[in-house]
Each structure stands twice: as C-alpha cells, then as structure tokens.
C-alpha cells in the first residue's frame, strides 16, 4: 500500500517536471496544421518543418553558436579560476576558511537585479555591450562562488600529505595542483563545470540586458524574440526549445555517474 503511494508520488513528480519538456518536443515534430488542431494531436506526424523554418527564418543556428561560445568560455574561465581560488581557500587555516566560505555564500545570494545597473554602466563605458566578453565576464562573476565552493570542499578533503609527497617527488606547487589535486577532485570539478555551463546556457536576464543586437544574442533571448508583435510561431519555438534542451540532457547523461558522485561529495579514501 505504502509502495503504491510512493509510486504515485514519483509519477506525479516525473510528470510535472518532464511534462512540459515532452510537450514541446512533441510539438516540435508537428505540422502547422497539427499544432492548432483541437482536440490536440498527441502523435505528431514527425515533420521537421519547424526545425527547418526556425533555422531559416529565425536564425536559430546563430543563437546556438552564441550560446555555445558564451557558455563554454564562462565554464572554462570560471573553473580555471575556481581551481586556483578553491586551492587557496582549502589551504587556509580553519577560521579564515569558514569566514571566506560564508562570505562567498552571501555574495552568491545577491539578487541579480541588484547588480544589473552597475554592470550595464561598466560594460557601457568599456564599450563591451553586445560583445561576448561583455556577457562572459558577468557570468563568471556570478558563477564563481558556486565553483569555488564546490572545488574548495573537494580539495579540503584531500590529505595534505598527497601534495607534500608530490612536491618532494619533484612537482612545483602548480604541478601538484594539476597532477594530483585536480584529477582526484574530478567528480567535483565536473559537477561544478556542468552546473556553470547550464547556468550560462540558460541565463536570460543579463543576456537580454547586455545583448541587444540580434547577431550576438543567445538562445534564451533569441527564442523569446521569436514571438513577433502579431505572431506566435508556436512550432518554431518548440523546435528551438528542443534544440536548446537536448545538449544539456546529453551532457548530464554522459557525465551522470561523475555528477552523482560529485553531488555526494567525494569519498576518495584510497
């Protein structure tokens, strides 16, 4: 009996979180006629017409390219900086470390809107509005607390003897970091990287604020712009949303095992 309730709950949760996703994937393969049909058509005819149309008429590939560039750059820079910062934090004495970690947490909780104005002004002065770095730098700022937090908590768990051993074996400090500490924290680094990538890929607010020219806009903003003053190209939006979502799903599936071990923070005890 209890098992049934549990199952029912699981189904509800799965349906609620997966439902919208399945709906727009479904929709994206419909034809123009099927989209507006009442009652709704459940089984689409498998047309790729909306995909073709969203590429041809709505510059979908340009958005994908921009998103890929911005998200990749953000991830690389954030993770690299997180490795250095996380290493320093992990090697701090305890009271200082706790203070720093708490400060990071506080900073990461500032609402985005509170820094939007200053960020826009700075970028405006630098002439970096509508540039990749103009978006990547704020993203790095916003994702860095998460990255440092995850990486530091992984490094903290590694015995210092390992690093000392590497240094005696002839590594420099940087060498020990990249040859010993980073490989051993791979689950954590991957987890952080994927979370950062997803954030940058999905982010809407700053993207809208900073990227006003269509040729540099990212997917979330681009898709929102599909909607014209008098038109709602429902099928194209569904197709573009599918294109936006599938890479993330694949990413998570490919690294699933690493992420799970990452979220249950590294039991690396040899």
Partner 1 sequence: MNMEALEVVGIKKSFGRVRVLDDISFKAGEGEFVVMLGPSGCGKTTMLRIIAGLEVQDEGYIYIGGKEVTNLNPKLRDVAMVFQSYALYPHMTVYENMAFPLKMRKLNREEIKQKVRQTAELLRIDDLLDRKPRELSGGQRQRVAIGRAIVRSPKVFLFDEPLSNLDAQLRASMRVELRRLHEKIGSTSIYVTHDQIEAMTLADKIILLENGVIQQIGTPEEIYKKPANLFVATFVGTPMINLLDGTLILKDGVPLFKSGEFEIALPSFKEYFALDGKPVVLGIRPEAVTIGKGPYRATVRQIEHLGSEKIIYLELKGKDLVAKTHGPAETDRAVCFDFNEDGLHLFYGRERIERIEEG
Residues at the interface with partner 1 (CB under 8 A)? 159, 161-162, 164-172, 175, 180, 183-184, 268, 270
Interatomic CA distance for residues 220 and 244, integer angstroms:
8
Q: Give whichever of 20 and 159 is closer to partner 1, judged by the CB atom.
A: 159
Q: Give whichever of 93 and 127 is closer to partner 1, judged by the CB atom.
A: 93
Q: Give whichever of 40 and 159 is closer to partner 1, judged by the CB atom.
A: 159
Please report how close the Cβ of residue 185 comes to partner 1 at its closest, in angstroms. 10
Q: Give whichever of 113 and 168 is closer to partner 1, judged by the CB atom.
A: 168
Q: Give whichever of 34 and 163 is closer to partner 1, judged by the CB atom.
A: 163
Q: Give whichever of 111 and 170 is closer to partner 1, judged by the CB atom.
A: 170
Please report how close the Cβ of residue 171 comes to partner 1 at its closest, in angstroms. 6
Interatomic CA distance for residues 255 and 9, integer angstroms:
27
Q: What's the alpha-carbon Rg for the chain, to the nearest Å?
A: 22
Interatomic CA distance for residues 23 and 258, integer angstroms:
29
73 close to 195: Cβ distance less than 8 angstroms: no
34 close to 41: Cβ distance less than 8 angstroms: yes
Tokens 């990538």 locate to 197
Please report how close the Cβ of residue 169 comes to partner 1 at its closest, in angstroms. 4
Please report how close the Cβ of residue 194 comes to partner 1 at its closest, in angstroms. 20
Please report how close the Cβ of residue 179 comes to partner 1 at its closest, in angstroms. 8
Where do the H-state alpha helices sit in the chain? 2-28, 32-36, 49-58, 60-90, 94-108, 113-126, 132-157, 160-168, 173-176, 182-184, 186-202, 205-210, 219-226, 234-254, 256-263
Interatomic CA distance for residues 170 and 267, integer angstroms:
27
Q: Give whichever of 181 and 221 is closer to partner 1, judged by the CB atom.
A: 181
Please report how close the Cβ of residue 262 comes to partner 1 at its closest, in angstroms. 15
69, 96, 134, 219 from 65: Cα distances, Å: 6, 42, 16, 9
Six-digit token string for 99: 């203070």
Please report how close the Cβ of residue 6 comes to partner 1 at its closest, in angstroms. 35
- Please state whether the peptide bond connecting residue 104 to the residue before it is cis, i.e. omega within 30 degrees of 0: no
């Amino acid at each position: 009996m209890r098992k049934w309730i549990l199952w029912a709950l699981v189904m509800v949760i799965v349906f609620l979180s997966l439902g919208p996703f399945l709906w727009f994937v479904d929709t994206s393969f419909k034809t123009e006629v099927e989209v507006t049909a009442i009652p709704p058509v459940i089984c689409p005819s498998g047309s790729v017409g909306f995909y073709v149309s969203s590429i041809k008429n709505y510059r979908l590939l340009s958005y994908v390219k921009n998103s890929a560039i911005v998200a990749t750059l953000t991830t690389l820079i954030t993770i690299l900086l997180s490795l250095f910062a996380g290493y320093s934090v992990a090697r701090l004495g305890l009271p200082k470390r706790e203070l720093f970690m708490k400060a990071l947490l506080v900073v990461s909780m500032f609402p985005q809107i509170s820094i939007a104005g200053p960020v826009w002004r700075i970028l405006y002065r630098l002439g970096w509005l509508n540039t990749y770095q103009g978006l990547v730098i704020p993203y790095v700022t916003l994702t860095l607390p998460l990255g440092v937090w995850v990486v530091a908590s992984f490094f903290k768990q590694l015995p210092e003897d390992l690093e000392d051993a590497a240094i005696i074996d002839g590594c420099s400090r940087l060498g020990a970091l990249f040859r010993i500490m980073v490989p051993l924290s791979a689950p954590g680094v991957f987890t952080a990287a994927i979370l950062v990538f997803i954030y940058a890929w999905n982010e809407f607010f700053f993207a809208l604020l900073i990227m006003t020219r269509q040729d540099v806009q990212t997917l979330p903003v681009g898709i929102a712009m599909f909607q014209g003053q008098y038109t709602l190209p429902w099928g194209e939006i569904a197709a573009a949303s599918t294109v936006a979502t599938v890479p993330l799903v694949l990413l998570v599936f490919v690294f699933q095992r690493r992420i799970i071990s990452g979220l249950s923070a590294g039991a690396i005890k040899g």
